[in-house]
Structure 1
Amino acid sequence: MSSKQFFRQQLPLVLVFLFFLSLISVSKSDELQPLLKFKSALQKSNTNVFSSWTQDNSNSICNFTGIVCNSNGLVREINLPEQNLRGVLPFDSICTLQSLEKLSLGSNFLYGTISEDLKNCTGLLYLDVGCNSFSGEVPDLSSLGKLKFLNLNNSGFSGQFPWRSMENLTSLTFLSLGDNFFETSPFPKEVFKLEKLYWLYLSNCSLEGPIPEGLGNLTQLINLELSCNQLSGEIPGDIGKLKNLWQLELYSNFLSGKLPVGFGNLTSLVNLDANHNNLQGNISEVRFLTKLASLHLFENQFTGEVPEELGEFNDLVKLSLYTNKFTGPLPQKLGSLADFVYIDVSENFLTGPIPPDMCKNGKMVELLLLQNRFTGGIPKNYVNCSSLIRLRVNNNSLSGVVPAGIWSLPNLSIIDLSMNHFEGPVASDIGKAKSLAQLFLSDNLFSGELPTAISGASSLVSIQLSSNHFSGQIPATLGGLNKLNSLRLDGNMFSGFIPDSLGSCISLADINLSGNSLSGNIPASLGYLPTLNSLNLSNNNLSGEIPTSLSSVKLSLLDLSNNRLIGQIPVSLSIPAFIASFTGNPGLCSPNLKQFQPCSSDSSTRHHLRTLISCFTVGALILLVSLAGFLSVKLRHNDRDHPLKPISWKMKPYHVLSFSENEVINAIQKDNLIGKGGSGNVYKVTLADGRELAVKHIWITESGDRKNCQSSSAVLTKRNLRSAEYEAEVATLSSLRHVNVVKLYCSITSEDSNLLVYEYFPNGSLWDKLHICRTTEMGWKLRYEIALGAARGLEYLHHGCDRPVIHRDVKSSNILLDGDWKPRIADFGLAKIVQAGGGEWTHVVAGTLGYMAPEYAYTYKVNEKSDVYSFGVVLLELVTGKRPIEPEFGENRDIVCWVCSKINSIDSLRDLVDSTISEALKEDAIKVLTIAIHCTEKIPSLRPSMRIVVQMLEEADPSKLTNIVVDKECQNSLNERLKNTGRFRALEFES
């Protein structure tokens, strides 16, 4: 064959080849523009990602960051997860990429709606846009029939659940639609047609009603998550067909009934979590699930014994069965075959001894057995459990001497042995427990002296040793515990003097030394504790006069009764609320309390003279010790009773300002002082234009620490606390913008001081109006408006910021009232911004006694629900007019316990309402009382969010003509609480 003939024969093939080459070239060129449009929509959020996406690079789109091409050089994948991308996705361009099979944009900040253009991406096999901030409904996905992987989780979608799209996606193997704001809908049966699914995540997406039969069709499932919905009824019987299931999460629903027969067929199950439902019966089916590593069935109604077979499981490391009705002993081999990490079987009826080998492999971090009927002692080999962080066995029938090594375990943060029959001493080795924050030994038979070495446990926040047989003197070394917040030694046999060194425990808020044999004077140093909130020294043999320093402390509880005190009761403490605080002291007198003898002029003169001599003596000693330091400080710093000089000050504005720093600084004078706190003074500043400001002056040097009786280490600690408090408040407040959150105008700083400039509140705080200067203006309608406004402020902090802000010190004294009585949430010195993960771990008990949520003592992880509890206490104050802690509540009881003890009918609720509230409005107050009860649930997950609280309060508006008393959840919560207290009578709530 000649070359010409060959060329003629091959020419058509060559032309076809060249034609296809040209098509590919055109197609590659066509794909550049959609990519550049994609870049244009998002590039401002992260220029680094798109630096390679340029027009000049048009021949190499496959080299663009995040782009993967197929063999023809066409875009097959866009992979840009977790790149901080912000903007609206241009699906009209993206879906012109005809070879696109994978679009992975999860965990960014994409927003806006997803357009209907998505239906044109018909070649997609993989779509992940989860963890973004979209709005609107999920578009119709039925045309994406090739999809195998679909993740729309936690992306802000709303509207109807997209079940109609699902039934056509029969190729799906991975489906995640959870954590979105869909309208409430029944469980989508259409999902059961997707028989290739191995992963199904439908948690927290507003599903309600029963799970229908058909679940057993999904035999390929290894993960099934349906938690945090409103699912009810029994677990479907055909669930036992899912023999490949590795993880099953059904928690936080309303499921009932028993574990179905055949549940034990899930032999591949490793993680099972069905907590917080209403499941009942025994858990004998669990004994077949031998591969379990974690088993969480807490907060249900399970009964019967814990299967003995659990002790034979080789992989079980986490067991949580608390708040059920289990009986009998725990398997004695429990944890002996695995690296056991965690056990919580609290609040059951379990008996017998503590299993001895749960920490055999030295990995256990939490041992929580509280509120059962365990007997025997703490196994001796637990002294080798150096990994242990939390040990709580309180409220059992345990006895014997605690093994000495337990006290010094290096990582232990809480020891709770209270309400048992333990005896013997606290070992001196407790000083080696450097991580120990909470020591609870109340209501036992402990004896001997409290070791002085306890000061070595420098992380201690709470010491509660009430109702034991401790004797000897209270160690003066306690003064070295700078983090100590609560000290309760009442009901023992301590003798001797109260250590003056307690005045160095600058974090102390609660002191109870009542019911001992203490003698001598009340130390004046206690009056200098900046956060002291409760002081009970009753039923001792204390003598001398009440120190005038206590006059400056804001106390919610003061009890000095039944001692041998003499002299005049300080004027600021001579108020009706404190009458019972001084009874049983015949030597006391008062010029204005009729229950006490009047003070003669001689006794008054002697009182003032003794005070003057005492102050002079202390002052002279201080002067002799610190003269050199005082002089050097005096040369460098201005007297704080005179105007501050502006030379070294720097102003940082957070709003548009009409004043200068000089105008503020010159007004920081003694005459303008309106308040004192632990971190500094507060001044009222009147500007030239007549506007008024409040200025918090925070000292950060030793020159500002006027309590010179404190040690240098205490001063240093206080300075660090103040610096941290200042930084927390500025960081939080400077970015907040809400009508019910206090406005921070600016900060003014120097080398040794910080000024925070706020709007001024002429009506003070809610605490002042409710408990100090009660006014007839505080009728129910005003109280309601204050409650609603404060709730909206907290709702903004929890739900309206980029990341939720946990206030951590919500109380009535931190709710300020402007000239129109509008409330503002204030004082953010303890606030925390929630990081990814949804909670904050703290080893310091933050907050104020009476307002703190119970989980502070149970877990160190706090979240927004801790604020909800504190706000519930504020609501109780508004309704009842009572303080969070009152002597009438009884020992170790607060307003929440008191209210719970009083409710057994609608009439009893009416009796709780403040008597100054008119009869016509008491029904409205009861509505808010029931909301408060809901907010103060013991279990955080049962409390409503602040968004729901606002909605409930809006429904309780006294100006509305409505018959709604309280929402259904709150009604059920109240009824359940009445059942639990044994005083249940059906309450007739109108609906």
Structure 2
Amino acid sequence: MIPLLPPLPTLLLLFLAVSFHGLQLASSLNQEGRYLLQAKRGLVDAGNSLSTWDDRDATPCKWAGVSCSDSDPPSVVAVNLTGFDLEGPFPSFLCRLPSLASLVLSINLINSSLHAASFDSCNALSHLDLSQNNLVGPLPDALAKLPNLTYLDLTGNNFSGAIPLSFGRFPHIQTLSLVSNLLDSTIPSFLGNLITLRELNLGFNPFDAGPIPDTLGNLSKLENLYLADCNLVGEIPPTLGQLSRLTNLDLSTNQLSGSIPQSLTGLSSIIQIELFKNSLTGRIPTGFSKLATLLRFDASLNQLEGPLPEDIFDAPQLQSLHLHTNQLSGRIPVGISRSKSLLDVRLYQNQLNGFLPADFGKNSPLEVLDLSTNNLSGKIPTSICERGALKQLILIQNVLSGSLPDGLGRCQTLNRVRLQSNFLSGPVPIGLWGLPHVSLLDLRDNAFSGEISPAISGAANLSTLLIDDNQFSGSIPSEMGALSRLYEFSAVNNRLIGPLPSSLGNLVELGRLKLHNNSLSGELLQGIQSWKKLVELDLSDNGFKGGIPPELGSLPVLNYLDLSSNDLTGEIPIQLQNLKLNRFNFSDNDLSGAIPPAFANEAYRSNFLGNPGLCGDIPGLCPISEEAAGNHHGFTWLLLSIFMLAGLVFVAGIAWFCWRYRKYKKATDKSKWTLRSFHKFGFNEYEILDSLDEDNVIGSGASGKVYKVMLSNGEAVAVKKLWQTPKADAENTEQLVDDAFEAEVATLGKIRHKSIVKLWCCCTHKDRKLLVYEYMPNGSLGDLLHSSKAGILDWPTRYKIALDAAEGFSYLHHDCVPPIVHRDVKSNNILLDGEFGAKVADFGVAKAVEMIGKGPKTMSVIAGSCGYIAPEYAYTLRVNEKSDIYSFGVVILELVTGKLPVDPEYGEKDLVKWVFSIIEQKGVEHVIDPMLDVCYKEEISRVLDIGLLCASSLPINRPSMRRVVKMLQEVRPQNKSKAGEKDGKLSPYYYEV
């Protein structure tokens, strides 16, 4: 019997029911989970950070970054995706979560603008953190309409424009952080209406110059006010003294003027006051002693004057006082010795005088004391390290006298001691020689006496020992061979005697050994192959005897060798030719034999004088007998006569042909060339045209060849001859050449700046184009830095190059109207004159800022060179001043590391990423060019920091070129002080804080 089937409609309904039930079983995720998955679909999850977001779960409460309430059923109350490496637009689906109170998406690559519609459903949101992303556009008004928002952090994005008026109407806001964006206009006074605010952070924005609004004094609940580097001008408003709950006040790195208001001494809850790097004047007000919670006060790098307030050190919890680089005068108040919490005092570069209080250091756990470059007198207090915590004692360039306190020899915590240029005398405490943590011991330019103690073997961390210009006597102890980290030992102008201990050959880190003008004797060290890092060896003006060790020729980076004014004998070893010496001197010894061929040059004559037995092809050295001289000269003149006669015939023929050809050429072409001049000069285009032959080529690049042309007046010019266009590529390439030529002419023709190469004139004829520049005898920075001659570029020279080039780019960005973007900043486009002054060159792809982005021709020439191109170029295809700054950051890294911007050594990285990774893994010292003197390490590190800041991946984090110049100048504050520079080298009074 056949069973009866239900009707067709009934079957269809049954099938649909079963299918729907199966669908429910396959995906049981609730609606909030679906919203989260929708948000995920709009993002690129390169690191698979959201792999736990699974649609088979019933709820998203166990997903990474998701937090739910304890209610039944649970609901999503917080999403925190910090550092998940997510990329894409703001995920607005998250706002559909009805109970979402906290949303944190910081440190990702969210890269859209924020639209009002994105926050329509975020009514429950109280905490919003979108910091450290790539968000752009104006700040959205909609944020101020969120009824429950108390915390808003948009730090480290690219928001631009003014702070909108709506931001003065947040109903419950407590934290508003807009640090490091591109906000302009001025800081608005309506922010003073946000009476619920506890934190207002607006630092590092390029606001228009403007004052601090008085109305901020109305924010009675404010605890943190951060306005660093906001282009603030005018005086500090006294109303800020009304902020009784304020714990942190940071107005640093602005252009504030006037005096420090007395009202700030009424900030009863203050912990930290930062006023450094402004233009504040007048006296520091009294009354800071009343601030019971004050820990740190920094008003350095201003123009403050007058005496220190008598009560400045009486604030009961004061730990750090930085007032360096001002014009303060008078004595240091005795209150400094009463303080029980003082850790860090930096008063250097002022005009302070008088004695240090006798019991200074007795009551406070002092760690850092820097009083350099003042007029302080008297003795160093015996109690300076009584609490056993002192790490840095820096007293350079004062008039301190007397002997060093014995307590310094027991100060086991010391790591830096700099006492240079005082009137200190007597023996150095034995314990001080061997302190285990000291890395720098600088006793130069005093009147110390006695011997270097064998206790120095305990100085396991010592890398720099400087005792020049004292009265030290005795021999160099063999225990110095135990200093495994010693890089520099300099004892110039002392009374040391005896031989060099053989143990010095064990110093594998040794880079500089300078013992000039002592009474050392014996033979020079043998077995010094371990000195692989030795850059400078100066043993001149001593009594060394015997021969020069051939092993010197095996030292790979030695470039300064001075053995003059000794009693050395024998020959100059031929192995020394292996060295790449920038400076050397063997004069005033008793050397004999032949001068090695590489040194037999008239330019080196003075380096061999005073050695009667030396012979070589240098006039005035090693005279020979008259008979030998007669035979030698007769044969020589015979050969010369034959060659000269043949040469004259040949040259005459060539000259006649060239004369005829040039006469014809000039007659043909004279009327065809057009010359445009930009400066007054004493030559014509024919002098240039007649000298463009291959013998004069000094360079060749993508745009053409460069010739060195000697003019009839004895001066030289550089001529760039742009490539002629092959017919096959005529239509496109000709346009590129024309664009490059016009850009160069339009840019350089109107520029007058010491750090930008001078364009004398240009010559054109049909498709032939010539640019005539001033000649730069030392070529490009890139060619020199990455060649065997890099040793010429010591650190002071590299620093000068960086500063000169920065000033050139700053002129382009800030002083030209309209501003000019170079678009191809690289070391090969920085040229060096005879004194190694740097000048910016090659403006073939430069653009005025107002023209960038105004049409399809903007990027007709690819802007930038491999390794120098800013990362945002990959997704914006635009370059601006920030792109130049990134490229300049790479140049700074080249100067510091000596490495190329791209190299197989880095693997998949470029120089910027390589430096970041090495610093993170091994430390700064592993990226510094080993050819650089370690005594400049701290200064190099500061310049390196500037380079890394310029090369930040986020454009907003890069400083302006004007700021870069200022930061580079501040690396060497003595440039603007009475200490100054001597002989073009770093002043001996330079110090790092």
* TM-score in terms of structure 2 length: 0.62
Give the corresponding residue for 2:80: 79
Give the corresponding residue for 1:199: 224
Query: For the residues of structure 2 that align with 1:66 and 1:283, how far apart are their CA atoms?
Result: 55
1:376-396, CA deviations, whole angstroms, 9 ceiling, x for partnerless residues? Answer: 222212222222211111211
Q: CA deviation at 1:439?
A: 0.7
How many residues are matched? 694
1:326-383, CA deviations, whole angstroms, 9 ceiling, x for partnerless residues? Answer: 1122233333223322222222111222222333233222221222122222221222
Identical-residue share of aligned pairs (%): 30
Query: For the residues of structure 1 that align with 2:453 and 2:404, how far apart are their CA atoms?
Result: 15
Question: Which shifted more, 214-223 or 105-114?
Answer: 105-114
1:383-416, CA deviations, whole angstroms, 9 ceiling, x for partnerless residues? Answer: 2222221111121111111111111111111111
Q: CA deviation at 1:810?
A: 2.6
Kept in 1, the 8 Å contact 2:90–2:112? The answer is no
- Counterparts in 2 of 1:384 and 1:309: CA distance versus 1, 3 Å: same
Note the 1:737-776 alignment, pairs <5 A.
Answer: 765=787, 767=789
Kept in 2, the 8 Å contact 1:807–1:832? The answer is no
- Counterparts in 2 of 1:182 and 1:579: CA distance versus 1, 3 Å: farther
Kept in 2, the 8 Å contact 1:224–1:248? The answer is yes
Give the corresponding residue for 2:184: 160
Give the corresponding residue for 1:102: 102
Kept in 1, the 8 Å contact 2:894–2:901? The answer is no
Kindly indicate whether residue 310 of structure 2 is the aligned counterpart of residue 230 of structure 1.
Answer: no
Question: Which shifted more, 400-409 or 138-147?
Answer: 138-147
Give the corresponding residue for 1:810: 895
SS in 2 for 1:580: helix
Give the corresponding residue for 1:864: 944
Specify which of 121, 142, 145 is matched with residue 143 of structure 1.
Answer: 145
Give the corresponding residue for 1:250: 275
Specify which of 407, 420, 426 is matched with residue 400 of structure 1.
Answer: 426
Give the corresponding residue for 2:93: 93
Kept in 2, the 8 Å contact 1:257–1:281? The answer is yes
Specify which of 236, 241, 248 is matched with residue 216 of structure 1.
Answer: 241
Query: For the residues of structure 2 that align with 1:455 and 1:348, how far apart are their CA atoms?
Result: 37
1:301-323, CA deviations, whole angstroms, 9 ceiling, x for partnerless residues? Answer: 22222221122111111112222
Query: For the residues of structure 1 that align with 2:251 and 2:580, how far apart are their CA atoms?
Result: 49
Kept in 2, the 8 Å contact 1:814–1:827? The answer is no
Kindly indicate whether residue 293 of structure 2 is the aligned counterpart of residue 268 of structure 1.
Answer: yes
SS in 2 for 1:211: coil
Query: For the residues of structure 2 that align with 1:524 and 1:979, how far apart are their CA atoms?
Result: 45
Give the corresponding residue for 1:319: 345
Kept in 1, the 8 Å contact 2:337–2:364? The answer is no
* TM-score in terms of structure 1 length: 0.62
Note the 1:566-965 alignment, pairs <5 A.
Answer: 566-591=592-617, 593-597=618-622, 765=787, 767=789, 784=839, 810=895, 832-833=915-916, 841-842=924-925, 846-848=929-931, 855-856=936-937, 861-864=941-944, 948=961
Give the corresponding residue for 2:585: 559
Kept in 2, the 8 Å contact 1:62–1:75? The answer is no
Specify which of 436, 454, 460 is matched with residue 410 of structure 1.
Answer: 436
Amino acid at match of 1:948: M
Kept in 2, the 8 Å contact 1:448–1:469? The answer is yes
SS in 2 for 1:418: coil
Query: For the residues of structure 2 that align with 1:801 and 1:581, how far apart are their CA atoms?
Result: 44
Q: CA deviation at 1:979?
A: 7.3
- Counterparts in 2 of 1:968 and 1:133: CA distance versus 1, 3 Å: closer
Query: For the residues of structure 1 that align with 2:620 and 2:900, how far apart are their CA atoms?
Result: 34
SS in 1 for 2:56: helix
Specify which of 329, 354, 358 is matched with residue 303 of structure 1.
Answer: 329
Kept in 1, the 8 Å contact 2:248–2:271? The answer is yes
Give the corresponding residue for 2:38: 37
Kept in 1, the 8 Å contact 2:186–2:209? The answer is no
Q: CA deviation at 1:443?
A: 0.8
Q: CA deviation at 1:568?
A: 2.4
Rg: which structure is higher?
Answer: 2
SS in 1 for 2:604: helix
Kept in 1, the 8 Å contact 2:888–2:947? The answer is no
Amino acid at match of 1:159: L
Specify which of 540, 551, 559 is matched with residue 533 of structure 1.
Answer: 559
- Counterparts in 2 of 1:977 and 1:946: CA distance versus 1, 3 Å: same
Query: For the residues of structure 2 that align with 1:412 and 1:769, how far apart are their CA atoms?
Result: 29
Q: CA deviation at 1:269?
A: 0.6
Q: CA deviation at 1:268?
A: 1.7
- Counterparts in 2 of 1:576 and 1:474: CA distance versus 1, 3 Å: same
Amino acid at match of 2:319: A
Give the corresponding residue for 2:537: 511
Query: For the residues of structure 2 that align with 1:220 and 1:969, how far apart are their CA atoms?
Result: 37
Kept in 2, the 8 Å contact 1:388–1:411? The answer is yes
Note the 1:2-151 alignment, pairs <5 A.
Answer: 31-42=32-43, 44-48=45-49, 50-61=50-61, 65-69=65-69, 73-81=74-82, 83-90=83-90, 92-117=92-117, 120=120, 121=122, 123-140=124-141, 141-144=143-146, 146-151=148-153
Kept in 2, the 8 Å contact 1:419–1:443? The answer is yes
Kept in 2, the 8 Å contact 1:216–1:240? The answer is yes
SS in 1 for 2:221: coil
SS in 2 for 1:257: coil
Kept in 1, the 8 Å contact 2:212–2:236? The answer is yes
SS in 2 for 1:459: coil
Give the corresponding residue for 2:302: 277
Kept in 1, the 8 Å contact 2:369–2:393? The answer is yes
Q: CA deviation at 1:246?
A: 0.7
Kindly indicate whether residue 528 of structure 2 is the aligned counterpart of residue 502 of structure 1.
Answer: yes
Kept in 1, the 8 Å contact 2:890–2:911? The answer is no
Amino acid at match of 2:533: S
Kindly indicate whether residue 424 of structure 2 is the aligned counterpart of residue 339 of structure 1.
Answer: no
SS in 1 for 2:557: coil
Give the corresponding residue for 1:354: 380
1:813-861, CA deviations, whole angstroms, 9 ceiling, x for partnerless residues? Answer: 97899xxxxxxxx998998337789995439984435xx59642x5785
- Counterparts in 2 of 1:522 and 1:62: CA distance versus 1, 3 Å: closer
Give the corresponding residue for 2:398: 372
SS in 2 for 1:833: helix
Query: For the residues of structure 2 that align with 1:215 and 1:429, how far apart are their CA atoms?
Result: 56
Amino acid at match of 1:832: V
Kept in 1, the 8 Å contact 2:90–2:111? The answer is no
Question: Which shifted more, 577-586 or 826-835?
Answer: 826-835
Q: CA deviation at 1:791?
A: 12
1:578-629, CA deviations, whole angstroms, 9 ceiling, x for partnerless residues? Answer: 23222222332321x334346789999xxxxxxxxxxxxxxxxxxxxxxxxx
Q: CA deviation at 1:495?
A: 0.9
SS in 2 for 1:519: strand
Kept in 1, the 8 Å contact 2:235–2:256? The answer is yes
Query: For the residues of structure 2 that align with 1:335 and 1:169, how far apart are their CA atoms?
Result: 45
Q: CA deviation at 1:77?
A: 2.8
Query: For the residues of structure 2 that align with 1:294 and 1:975, how far apart are their CA atoms?
Result: 23
Query: For the residues of structure 1 that align with 2:462 and 2:869, how far apart are their CA atoms?
Result: 36
Query: For the residues of structure 2 that align with 1:202 and 1:29, how far apart are their CA atoms?
Result: 45
SS in 2 for 1:278: coil
SS in 1 for 2:390: coil
